[in-house]
Amino acid sequence: MTVTLLTAVIATVTAEAQRIQTVDKNGAPVAYASVMTEDAKFIGATDLNGVLEDVNGAKTVIITHVAYQSKTADVGQGGKITLEEADFGLPEVTVTKKPLVYVQTYYRLLGVTGSEVLYYRAGLVDNQFDRQKKSLSTDEEHFSMASIGMLKTVLNMMFNTVKGRLFGISQTKREETLKKNYADIGLKVTTDASGKMVITDNYGQVGAITDDLKAGIRRVSFNANDLNKHTTLATGKEKKIKKQQKREEAQKNRIEVDFEQYRYDGQSEYSPEDFMMKQGYISYDKENEKGELVNHVFLFQVFNTERAYVTKDELKQLKKQNQMEMTYDNIQRFEREHNIPALAPAIQKRFDALAAEKK
């Protein structure tokens, strides 16, 4: 064997050793799990097959996902990494004829650049769904902090305009919303030969739906970045396409993926109160003033923490009962009491330190 060939073989083995796949206890792929170093530098996210092709030489990584417990794993030899489901759930409720559904959701939003925490926001949303009128309204209270004041102001303004859509529940199940919003690019949900439900558009697969009927759960994962890119391409308008290309040049290796989880028994139609959790993840590399590529990550997570069928008077009482002073300590206590899946230890440590600075 020549030296050149031997070198190529070694390089191939090394590359394959850096490939990891996240799976659940049943061996099914876990899509869109975040992979970071022990000091909280994001490496990337797994794809729809649970695969991340390269962990960039890291020997130990921390893997997080909104629906699973964080895990520290040795990836020196690559391979499959099994994630355990987060200890998060909602008590069963009896469906009644009461006119309103009350759903309380808890959310957290964070921004990280490199290994620096830029922004953190958390809060509670009271969602009221009128079953007869099919109308939904939300009330929000939040706590936020940031190491950069202007960034905090801009993000608060931006996310306040979409709080109902982003931080609360939806009246329409996710796959129906996707089909409506992306009809122009032929989005549809089908079942392939293996029995897997896939979300596709005119350009290929952009998502997947998995049902765990034993656990009574439906999970919907989709690639928002691909959907938006495909929509732009479908317009054929050079100005829009060039704008998209310009963003790709500025935001290299951009990932924008979404995940939602619902209660689902495989028979009945699931409704707004069956929402359990969701996550949006955006990551990209951007050059700093020194010409170095720095990773930027924005992550938001939403959890259903309470649901009930109520009358108007009962709704008022519940909303009053669930009010709390929005301090960092209270939020951390709320997360523990409601089994909110923990953030990666290094990220949580930085938030604790940032909170201590603000006191």
Domains and CATH numbers, the chain: 3-82 (2.60.40), 100-358 (no CATH)
Contacts 24+ apart (CB under 8 A), 261-268: 261/66, 261/67, 261/217, 261/218, 261/219, 261/220, 262/173, 262/217, 262/218, 262/220, 263/90, 263/216, 263/217, 263/218, 264/211, 264/213, 264/216, 264/217, 264/218, 265/213, 265/216, 266/211, 266/213
pTM: 0.87
Q: What are phi and psi of 140, to 5 degrees?
A: -125, 145
Q: Which contiguous run of DSSP H or E holds residue 3?
A: helix 3-17
pLDDT tens per residue across span 251-271? 998 999 999 999 888 877 778
| 106-110, 123-127, 205-209, 343-347: segment of lowest average pLDDT | 343-347
Residue 304, pLDDT above cutoff 90: yes
Average pLDDT over residues 148-175: 73
Angle between helices 238-250 and 224-235 (to 10 degrees): 150
Helix then strand then coil, in percent of the chain rounded to 5, is 30, 40, 30
pLDDT at 46 over 80: yes
Q: What is the pLDDT of residues 90-109, one digit of tens each?
A: 667 777 889 999 999 999 98
Residue 15 has pLDDT above 60, yes or no: no
Q: Which residues pair with 277 in a beta bridge?
A: 261, 303
Task: Return d(Cα 226, Cα 320) in angstroms, integer.
Answer: 42
